[in-house]
Amino acid sequence: MVSIKYKLACVVWELTLGCNLKCLHCGSTAGGRRAEELSTREALDLCADLKKSGCLGVALMGGEPLLRKDFFEIASRVRELGMELSVITNGTIHSEEIFENLKKLKPRAVAVSLDAADPALHDKIRGAAGAFEKSNAFINRCLKEGLPVSVITTVHKLNIGELARLRDFLKGRGIAWQVQTAGGEGGRFSKEFLLDPEEFYSVGLFVEACRREYGPEELPVIGAHDLGYNSRLLKNVSLYEKWEGCQAGVSVAGVRSDGGVMGCLAINDEKFLEGNVRRKSFYEIWNSPDSFHFTRNFKKDQAGIICSACSHVETCKGGCNEMSLMKTGAPHNDPYCFCRLEKEIFRDELKNPLKNISLKISGLAGGEAFRKLGRMFSGNRGDKP
């Protein structure tokens, strides 16, 4: 029976950890394959098991998922079973066959990573000469073929200065743009490149400014779901109107290429492995009362010192657990939520009731703008909802 309490909206599936690039910020330090990645047979069985678990959509990522020879066999099975498909790729692997097959799959999104408009900087971050040229050609070909192409930009100190150039590079081209921030889990990434609090907040400000200046038709841009939230000022960053807390194990799950199941692959910590599909089916793991304790059974008294006294804690549950773990070593204690950052950054203004007035002036995007943006990020880019 499909879980009534926890409806599985999306599974992010790392098809392989193998990758042809060596991105500095890669949270899972992809390059070589994991030992004992799932075989084609096991992957196809998992597709059926995800469907049985009520999964609505699957995002295939890596490593670089297109390196798997059976990529289209697995992706086709996802679609045959009636689940939505998103493909997250570095965009450096091209062939006529790839574009033909992608078109047949009618994916919800084909997301390509682009970290700078400056080719040399993108190549430096991605660890491969010529990566920008290939990824840009991939994006252009997707546009030509009418595929719903997105760009994902991962921001850190090396490329925060590129955001405005990327905006100018992408706007007006029908490309949905997701801006996210780098975590510190990867083995190639020096923590000195992580954004400091003001820089992190400025990424939210940048997205907000873009959303106020450009309509969703000209520049459909969102911050990642865990960028900020509970802000008093910024109402146009994410694709939801209210942050409902970390969804790891609540409405989303991740599957590693060796069959390991986690609430969220970004956490990248073995302690948060809930099981392996080789030993227990995904269906059993998802429906077990013993799974995903950290989010499903959250109690207010589990919140860390940053969050325990916050008025949002009951619904927010201490924010993004990946960020919380990375910064504080414990879940439910995210120091980078916009609620807290604003208290720090605008401490003086918040004390002053006159200045405080200006903090309340925040232009809401409004329902129609949200709906239009939602269409750009759902593969349905026509005028009709």
User: What is the C-alpha separation between 193 and 32, in angstroms, rounded?
Assistant: 24
- From 61-69, 194-202, 283-291, 318-326, give the range in contact with ligand SF4 by CB under 6 A: 318-326
147, 337, 365, 376: residue in contact with ligand SF4 (rule CB under 6 A)? 337
User: CB of 383: closest distance to ligand SF4 in angstroms?
Assistant: 31
Span 213-232, contacts to ligand SF4 by CB under 6 A: 225-226, 230
Q: Which residue has the tokens 């909206």?
A: 9
User: CB of 141: closest distance to ligand SF4 in angstroms?
Assistant: 30
**Calculated CA dihedral for residues 327, 328, 334, 338, nearest 10 degrees:** -50
Please give the full DSSP string across 256-290, using - where no structure is assigned: -TTSEEES-GGG--GGGEEEETTTS-HHHHHH-TT
User: CB of 248: closest distance to ligand SF4 in angstroms?
Assistant: 4
Nearest to 332 by CA among 310, 348, 361: 310
- From 14-22, 44-52, 165-173, 317-325, give the range in contact with ligand SF4 by CB under 6 A: 317-325
Strand partners, 13: 60, 255
Q: Which residues contact 342 (CB under 8 A, 6 or more apart)?
A: 201, 231, 232, 233, 350, 359
Residue 321 binding ligand SF4, by CB under 6 A:
yes
Residue 61 binding ligand SF4, by CB under 6 A:
no
Residue 313 binding ligand SF4, by CB under 6 A:
yes
- From 1-9, 309-317, 354-362, 366-374, give the range in contact with ligand SF4 by CB under 6 A: 309-317
CB atoms inside a 10 Å sphere around CB 225? 18
88, 318, 346, 373: residue in contact with ligand SF4 (rule CB under 6 A)? 318
Compare residues 5 and 279 and give the one whose CB is closer to ligand SF4. Answer: 5
Compare residues 74 and 307 and give the one whose CB is closer to ligand SF4. Answer: 307
Nearest to 323 by CA among 230, 195, 198, 178: 195
Q: What are phi and psi of 162, to 5 degrees?
A: -90, -10
- Site for ligand SF4, rule CB under 6 A: 225-226, 230, 246-248, 252, 264, 266-267, 306-307, 310, 312-313, 316, 318-322, 334, 337, 339-340
